[in-house]
Structure 1
Amino acid sequence: MEFKTLANVNIEELLAVFNHSFSDYIVPFHLTKEVLVSKIETEKLDMNLSVGAFEGGKLVSFILQAEKLEKGQKIIYNGGTGVVPESRGKGLVRKMYDFIIPILKERNADILLLEVIEGNAAAIRAYENLGFKIVRRLLCFKGDINSTAENTKITIKEMKDIQWEELRSFWDIEPSWQGAVYVLDPMPENFKTLGAYTDGNLVGYIIYSPVTRKIYQIAVHKDYRKQGIGAVLFTAIADGQPIAINNVDDASKETAVFLDKKAGLQNWLSQFEMKRSI
């Protein structure tokens, strides 16, 4: 077994191993080449920081990773770990981390970060054995938007000039990796940001992808809540197709209730965010 970065692995090989690894996952899914390329680009995954296990020269396991600097700390995010069924039980995840951590230390990385499905007890236990600890619970929602809210005092306009400091002031909770400012700035081409305005003032916004039907951020100014602004924003992106919003911190009970009761989405999955120091 050989361990090395994924710098020289072509996308077709990675796609085949990715899909084979997740074919019997707790939530099975299958990616197209276009979706995998989009995931790598939008999550800013770096193949030079990602690691694979190779048997007979063939990729059989991987950890996809990205890096960001936040509040003086260099964080390494795990955007996906997979092991093909035939190679499980060999401790490959631990061995891949054993290989890549010295490289990350040379880059002065501080924190390893990942998400794991709440019901995946074996994976949670494995990551805990590697030194990871659960730091928060994240809720995933999906479904058809049932909001038909109207508010004549609110104007919805597309935002082109994103002022992140202003948007941050609307937050109660920190977005997970996929919705982080680091990932969204500069804004990916197929993402849109809609602002809700009253008397010319921005009072709420939503960032989403019309292509993937995913919401990455939604927030309302603290002084303008419970006035139907969030519902109006959801109505603005409703087009009869299902939509998803992943990894909502469950510390924000207000957000969860809104997504369930007002927007009509279902909390179909929950994850744990886990961290460890390097």
Structure 2
Amino acid sequence: MEFKTLSHISIDELLSVFNHSFSDYIVPFHLTKEVLLLKLDSEKLDLNISVGAFENDQLVSFILQAEKEEEGRKIIYNGGTGIVPEFRGKGLVRKMYDFIIPQLKERNAEVLLLEVIQGNEGAIRAYENLGFSIVRKFLCFHGNINSVKENNEVSIQELEDFQWEKFRSFWDIEPSWQGKNSILENIKKDVLKLGAFKDEILVGYIIYHPVSKKVYQIAVDQKYRNQGIGTKLFKAIKDINQKQPISFNNVDEASENTTKFLEKTIGLNNWVSQFEMKRDI
């Protein structure tokens, strides 16, 4: 067994092993090449700091990783760990981390971050044995947007750019990795930015990816909540995507009002939940 970075790997080979690894996962899924490329780009996954296990030069396991500096600390995010079924139970996750961590230290990385599906007890135990601790629980939503009564005093307008300082003032919680500002800046040409205006004042916004049909962020000014503003933003998305189902992943469970709003008002289903786990290097 040989361990090395994925800097030399082809997208086609990575796609094949990725789909094989997740074919019998607790939540099975299958990516197209286009979706894998979008994932790599949108999450800033870097094959130069990602690691793989190779048997006879064939990739059998991988950890896809991204790097980001936040509050003065360099964070390494695990955007996906996969092991093909035939090679499980061999401690490959630990061995891959043992291989890559010295290289990450050379890059002055300080923190490892990942997400794992609630209920995947084997993976949770494995990460805990590697020193990771659960820090947050995320809820993932999917479904069709309800037809709801609109607030006609609110207008929805497309925004030319992110207004991060204003957006952040609306937040109750910090987004997960996929929804962080720096990540969204990387795909700003591909996402739709809608603002809700009342009396010409920006009082809410939503960021939506029309191709993946994924909401990345939504927030409403605390002074204007419970006035149908979030509802109207979702109504605009419903009109744009021709009533097709959407997803909104990694909503912090601590935001009870958001969870209730998404389920009861918008009509989305919390179909799976994840734990955010972290450890110092």
Residues 1:163 and 2:166 are matched in the alignment: no
Partner of 1:218: 218
Aligned amino acid, residue 151 of structure 1: N
Query: Aligned partners of 2:149 and 2:280: how far apart in 1?
Result: 45
Q: Which amino acid aligns with 1:136?
A: R
Q: Which residue of the partner structure matches residue 89 of structure 2? A: 89
Q: Is the 8 A contact 1:140 1:270 kept in 2?
A: yes
1:260 to 250, 263, 266: 263
3-state SS in 1 of match to 2:226: coil
What's the secondary structure of 2:101's corresponding residue? helix
The alignment of Structure 1 onto Structure 2 pairs a total of residues equal to: 278
The equivalent residue for 1:273 is 276
**Which position in structure 1 is the counterpart of 2:22?**
22
* Paired amino acid for 2:231: A
- 1:191 equivalenced with 2:191 (yes/no): yes
TM-score (norm 1): 0.99
**Equivalent in the alignment of 1:31:** 31
Alpha-carbon distance in structure 2 between the residues aligned to 1:128 and 1:274: 9
3-state secondary structure, aligned to 2:115: strand
- Runs of 4+ displaced beyond 3 Å: none
Paired with 1:269 and 1:257, the residues of 2 have a C-alpha distance of 16
Residue 156 of structure 2 contacts residue 236 of structure 2 at CA under 8 Å; is this kept in 1? Answer: yes
Q: Which runs of 5+ in 1 are unaligned?
A: none
TM-score if structure 2 supplies the norm length? 0.98
- Deviation, structure 1 residue 166: 1.0
- Cα deviation for residue 147 of structure 1 reads 3.5
User: Which residue identity is paired with 1:250?
Assistant: E
Query: In structure 2, how many angstroms separate the alpha carbons of the residues matched to 1:187 and 1:31?
Result: 19
Q: Is the 8 A contact 1:220 1:230 kept in 2?
A: yes
Distance in 2 of aligned mates of 1:180 and 1:100: 25
Note the alpha carbon deviations across 1:11-43, whole angstroms, 9 max, x for none. Answer: 000000000000000000000111100100001
1:48 Cα deviation (Å)? 0.6
Matches within 5 A, 1:71-110: 71-110=71-110
**Runs of 5+ in structure 2 lacking a partner?**
none
- Equivalent residue number for residue 44 of structure 2: 44
The alignment-based identity, stated in percent, is 68
Match in the other structure for 2:149: 149
Alpha-carbon distance in structure 1 between the residues aligned to 2:188 and 2:55: 36
Residue type at the aligned position of 1:169: S
Q: Report if aligned partners of 1:158, 1:194 keep a CA contact under 8 Å in 2.
A: yes
Aligned to 1:45, the other structure's residue is in SS state coil
Within 5 A, what are the aligned runs for 1:111-190?
A: 111-190=111-190
Counterparts of 1:240 and 1:157 in 2: how far apart (Å)?
Answer: 19
Q: Conserved in 1, the CA contact under 8 Å of 2:161 and 2:193? A: no
Shift, 1:82, TM fit: 0.2
Q: Distance in 2 between matches of 1:164 and 1:82?
A: 34
Corresponding residue for 1:66? 66
**Aligned equivalents of 1:240, 1:180: Cα separation in 2:** 26
SS of corresponding position for 2:34: helix
